[in-house]
Amino acid sequence: MIAGIEDRMTNKELAAPHAGDKDAAAHVGADATLLIVDDDGPFLRRLARAMETRGFIVETAESVAEGVAKTKANPPKYAVVDLRLGDGNGLDVIEAIRQKRDDTHIVVLTGYGNIATAVTAVKLGALDYLAKPADADDVYAALTQRPGEKAEVPENPMSADRVRWEHIQRVYEMCERNVSETARRLNMHRRTLQRILAKRAPK
């Protein structure tokens, strides 16, 4: 599990929507089918549970191939698609959805280094994109916004220091907690990285 995402998606995010979102079904609509495509299994399952509490009927996929197959079998009204997947690009899933239906609300998840790809996804028909890490409230707000609208800026967005820390932790986990390899990929001195890893997450 990527450090930081587990912390952010707490019981609060798994609860029903806050005041002002009392009738989740009214926001989601009659067709509440949602496909979530992400190859981070623990995050995928946690987000799926969170979306179910918000009134969605959730299907999940952990690869491009599985996402495309489930789209062909049951094209969803809503979709959350990670752009970087183990077997390819989430854009292929978006294209498959659009071939089946043109009214799907699609939100893409992307790392901070892939904003250009996210813009391409929007041009292909995605409603919006969210940079990782994104919590359940962010995803819900993006999915249920009307076309042309933008989700409200979070009341307590992460600081730049926290965003940097989250990114470092993600790369560290991807490198199987190998400090030397993480430092190499981040183009950072090993001792500097060790100091960062030894500290608590900034607010």
Whole-number pLDDT of residue 73? 96
Within the chain, which residue ranges are assigned CATH 1.10.10.60? Answer: 160-198
Whole-number pLDDT of residue 67? 96
Angle among Cα 55, 80, 46 to the nearest 5 degrees reads: 65
Within the chain, which residue ranges are assigned CATH 3.40.50.2300? Answer: 5-144
Whole-number pLDDT of residue 113? 52
| Residue type for position 4 | G
**Architecture of domain 160-198 in CATH?**
Orthogonal Bundle (1.10)
Tokens of 42: 């623990």
Output the CATH code of domain 5-144.
3.40.50.2300
Tokens of 203: 């607010």
Q: Contact, 82 vs 36, CB < 8 A?
A: no
Whether the model pTM is above 0.75: no
Q: Where are the alpha helices (DSSP H) in the chain?
A: 5-8, 11-14, 24-28, 41-53, 64-73, 91-100, 115-123, 136-144, 160-174, 179-186, 190-198
CA quadruple 13, 18, 22, 28: dihedral sign: negative
Please list the pLDDT of the chain residue by residue as tens digits (203 residues): 333 433 444 444 444 444 344 455 557 778 999 999 999 888 899 999 999 999 999 999 999 999 999 999 999 999 999 988 889 889 899 999 999 999 999 998 876 555 666 677 777 788 777 877 778 888 998 888 865 555 455 555 556 676 677 778 778 877 888 999 999 988 999 999 998 888 876 76
Measured between alpha carbons, how far is 83 from 91 in angstroms, rounded to an integer? 6
